[in-house]
Amino acid sequence: MRWKITGMLCLCLLSSPALSEVIFNASVAEARLDAAELRLIFSRQRLFWTNGQAIRVFILPPDSEDHRQFCQNSLDVLPYMLQRNWDRAVYSGMADRPEIVSSIAEMRRKVFSTAGAVGYVPDEISATGSSE
């Protein structure tokens, strides 16, 4: 019985969700946002920072595991629901889609060099400082 409990505990620890770190351009004053605010930003329902600067959103490829993890664990939304919000905003003329970057290194480069930009990197990448 004790082995079953220990085994289940190990499985739970191994399957803990990977978190992502949200990264901002230096021009962004709001460097701490809750999940609800991030959901509005990444779904393109909030388009401007409090200082009036346009928000530029960068994402990893929508079919990547890193993007799926970010959506589910940081935004608490499924990727297809986020895609549906983007489609609605684009077709209604209210907003543009986020810009898709091909790698974590490109994500860092684009976010850090674009005024008003926000993006994300997997937490294990941000902790080690390496990028692919």
Whether 12 maps to a domain, the answer reads: no
Q: Strand, coil or helix: what is 13?
A: helix
CA–CA dist 46, 79 (Å, integer): 18
Whole-structure pTM value: 0.79
CATH number for the domain including 103?
A: 3.40.190.10
The two three-digit tokens of residue 17, written as one number: 């969700």
Give the H/E segment covering residue 104.
helix 104-113
Question: Could you tell me the residue range of the domain that residue 36 belongs to?
Answer: 19-128
Indicate whether 48 belongs to any domain. yes
pLDDT tens per residue across all 132 residues of the chain? 444 443 433 333 334 455 789 999 999 988 688 899 999 999 999 999 999 999 999 999 999 999 999 999 999 999 999 889 888 888 998 888 999 999 999 999 999 999 999 999 997 654 444 444
Decide if 8 is inside a domain.
no
Q: How many CB atoms lie within 10 A of CB 50?
A: 8
